[in-house]
Amino acid sequence: MRVYLSLTPADLAADAVMPRSAWAVTDSLMASYGGDDWEQEDYEAVAMMAAGQACLEYLDGVTPACRIVAAADCAEAVAFGPAAGQVSIDGPVSLADVVSFHIDEEESWPIVAAAAAGEDDEDALSETALLWYDVSEIALVRDILNAG
C-alpha cells in the first residue's frame, strides 16, 4: 500500500522513521470524497495533502518550517482512526521503502510557519503546493532544508 508519512527535517537524517502520522487511499477516504467518481491520482493527492496538513502539528518552532511528506510502499499499513485515510503502521518505515519526498518550496516556509503557530491564513496555505523529489534526491532535499 502506498502511504504518505508526515516527517520533520530531523527524520531525514535517519535510515528509518517511526511515522507520527500516515495516510493512504482507503475505502473510507474514497467514500468521503465521492466514491468511484475520482481517479486514483486524485485520491493519492488528497492522502498526500492530509499528511502535509498533519505535519503542521510537529513544526511549531521548527526551522525551517517546511512540510515534508514521504511516499512509501508499506505492506503493514492498516486503516484506522477518526480521519478518513488515516492508517497505522506497526514499526519504523525504512528509507529503502520510500519512493519520493514532497516538500514546500522555500517561498512558502513563512506561510507554513504561521500555520504551524496557529496564525495561519487557510487560503494562503491551501494555495501552496508540495514539490516532488525522487528518493534518489534525498541529499538535495537535505541540502535545501539545511540551507533554510
Structurally, how many domains does the chain consist of? 1
Q: Whole domain around residue 30: which residue ranges?
A: 2-147
Q: Please state, rounded to an integer, the average pLDDT across all residues of the chain.
A: 87
Residue of 14, 103, 17 whose CA lies nearest to 65: 103
What global pTM score does this model have? 0.89
Q: What is the pLDDT of residues 11-65, one digit of tens each?
A: 888 889 887 788 888 887 888 877 666 777 787 888 888 888 888 888 888 888 9
Whole-angstrom distance, CA of residue 4 vs CA of residue 8: 13
In the numeric block, which cell numbers belong to residue 18? Answer: 517511526
